[in-house]
Structure 1
Amino acid sequence: MNNSIKVEKPYDITKDLLIRVGIIEYLNILIVDINHIIGDGYSHGILRKEMFDLIRGEELKELPIQYSDYAIKYDEKINSERVLNQMKYYENLFNKIINTNY
């Protein structure tokens, strides 16, 4: 059965998984549909390359950083005193009423 029609439908991000995989068996085609919420074009290129490497029987290289490493550093950064002070500055700046009666 050609299940590509199931893969091509629009995402409902409140209910659907954000990645879909389908197979067209008689053509030996794998379809991977990834919503841009969980991956951008650059990420898709990496995924494609690694999938082809695996199909060719190649071993994947060890990654120098994992997403969790990035997420921990990002969390530390956005909760730093410097960033919190910047946020307070802009909150104060944009909470002021501006007189537009000239």
Structure 2
Amino acid sequence: MSAFSLAPEQTAWCAELRALAAERLRPLADRGEPGRVNRPLIAELGRLGLLARLFTSGALDLCLMRESLARACTEAETALALQGLGAHPVHAHGTPAQRARWLPPVADG
């Protein structure tokens, strides 16, 4: 017996994320240059609405999102995580003016 299981909508969302990562993010990651920021990949994460979710999702959803992306495209998961790492202090502790200035560009990619 499992002590934990995902709701059907969570399972479906994870499958959708894996498909998006394989179809749209992996090709962008493959065209990236080692040691350079892959701006097209980050922009696509923004267009897909995934970066905005850094500021609206709970811990479980963030974990599911990162795990699902990593399964198909580790570069996309890493880019998402780094955007969150840099933006989290502003989101959690920034002034309203700082949040208004910095978080929309992060969410947009």
Bin of the TM-score, shorter chain as denominator length: under 0.3
The TM-score with structure 1 as length reference comes to 0.25
Query: Quick check: which one's helix share is greater?
Result: 2
Structure number with bigger Rg: 1
Higher relative contact order (CA 8 A, sep 6+): 2
Query: Quick check: which one's strand share is greater?
Result: 1
The TM-score with structure 2 as length reference comes to 0.24
